[in-house]
């Protein structure tokens, strides 16, 4: 079961990131009441778990999202001044370009292009680092959730556990997600993590 939860966790990571962006851009719309659905009988032995919801709504999942937002702000604070300085210098170069000789135009233009290329590489590196950080953190939560899912699976005497993402409708009495969230909250609320550093050179093997 561990491998399945790990795979699903990466989708959850994307959902957490998308949710944080959406929340920052616009207030959430009021939910539209859904009509009551007549449910069929519970299917014995069939259980349903929403890994996405279990992680996203758990205390530790919310902590992970907040921590990722904090790390993203640090990255932004690092990149924004360099980006602003580069834009300012580029505008200044364009403004005085007509007064420069060909050699100066070429020299200063190449210097600006080199800075722009270096900045783009740094930006892309930070993006990859944040993605790696997000995946690692969500994977940690999935690892904590895995034995909980197994325990509830056995307690409920399930014969099959289905991912809620692949089910359109189901009797909520077969859903173990709320129980999993409660158990996950009791198990872990947060854990320390920082941004992954992908530019660190590996230590040579001896």
Provide the pLDDT for residue 106.
94
Q: How far is CA 33 from CA 26, 56, 84, 99, 179, in A?
A: 21, 22, 46, 67, 24
Q: Residue ranges per domain, the chain?
A: 2-23+45-187
The pTM of this model reads 0.77
User: CA-to-CA distance for 129 and 125, rounded, in angstroms?
Assistant: 6
User: Would you state the structure tokens that stand for residue 173, as one six-digit string?
Assistant: 């009495």
Q: Side-chain half-sphere of 37: how many Cα atoms within 13 Å?
A: 10
DSSP 195: -
List Cβ neighbours of 36 (8 Å cut-off, separation of 6 or more).
none
Provide the pLDDT for residue 127.
95
Closest CA to 181 of 148, 134, 143, 132: 148
pLDDT (tens digit, 0 to 9) for every residue of the chain, 206 residues total?
A: 444 444 344 434 444 443 343 333 344 556 666 677 888 999 999 999 999 999 999 999 999 999 999 999 999 999 999 999 999 999 999 999 999 999 999 999 999 999 999 999 999 999 999 999 999 999 999 999 999 999 999 999 999 999 998 899 999 999 999 999 999 999 999 999 999 999 765 544 54
Helices (H), the chain: 2-25, 51-57, 59-96, 102-155, 177-187
Provide the pLDDT for residue 176.
97
User: CA-to-CA distance for 205 and 73, rounded, in angstroms?
Assistant: 36
Provide the pLDDT for residue 205.
53
List Cβ neighbours of 148 (8 Å cut-off, separation of 6 or more).
180, 183, 184, 187
């Amino acid at each position: 079961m561990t491998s399945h939860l790990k795979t699903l966790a990466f989708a959850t990571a994307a959902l957490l990131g998308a949710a944080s962006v959406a929340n920052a851009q616009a207030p959430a719309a009021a939910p539209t009441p859904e009509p009551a659905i007549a449910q069929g009988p519970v299917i014995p032995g069939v259980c349903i778990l929403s890994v996405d919801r279990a992680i996203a709504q758990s205390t530790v999942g919310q902590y992970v999202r907040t921590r990722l937002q904090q790390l993203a702000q640090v990255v932004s604070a690092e990149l924004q001044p360099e980006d602003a300085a580069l834009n300012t210098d580029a505008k200044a170069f364009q403004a005085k370009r007509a007064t420069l000789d060909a050699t100066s135009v070429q020299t200063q233009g190449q210097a600006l292009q080199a800075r722009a290329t270096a900045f783009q590489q740094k930006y892309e590196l930070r993006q990859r680092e944040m993605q790696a950080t997000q995946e690692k953190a969500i994977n940690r939560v999935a690892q904590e959730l895995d034995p909980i899912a197994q325990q509830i699976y056995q307690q409920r005497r399930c014969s099959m556990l289905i991912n809620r993402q692949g089910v359109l409708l189901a009797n909520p009495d077969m859903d173990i997600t709320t129980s999993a969230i409660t158990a996950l909250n009791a198990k872990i609320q947060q854990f320390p993590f920082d941004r992954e550093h992908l530019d660190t050179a590996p230590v040579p093997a001896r």
